[in-house]
Amino acid sequence: MTAGVAALGPEAQAEIFKRVREFPEFKPGNDPYGEHDFGSIAAGGEQVFWKIDYYEDASMELGSENPADPARSYRLLTVMLAAEY
């Protein structure tokens, strides 16, 4: 999580992460490739974005060529305030 999300406090963070886990609103407009790797929610009076990035190695410098293969990719979830984007 970013500094902005951390500053919201533990109750807001718990609600945000619960809503990220349960995010059901994948549609062609916000998920055109069917990857389910980005979402936007309103929580704690803030607009919050979350995104999953896929990396080829543990140094997280190279994007994964096959994100669907957990043996060949590392996943990183970032949760941020829209204002931090």
The rounded mean pLDDT for the chain is 92
With pLDDT > 70 as the criterion, what percentage of the chain qualifies?
A: 100
Interval 43-69 mean pLDDT? 89
Q: Which residues of 46-72 are buried (b: 16+ CB within 10 A; e: fewer)?
A: bebbbeebbbbeeeeeeebeebeeeee
CA angle (53 as vertex; 66, 8 as ends), nearest 5: 160
pLDDT at 70 over 90: no
Interval 24-44 mean pLDDT? 90
Give how many domains the chain has, as a whole number: 1
What is the predicted pLDDT for the residue at 83? 96
What is the predicted pLDDT for the residue at 68? 83
pLDDT at 6 over 90: yes
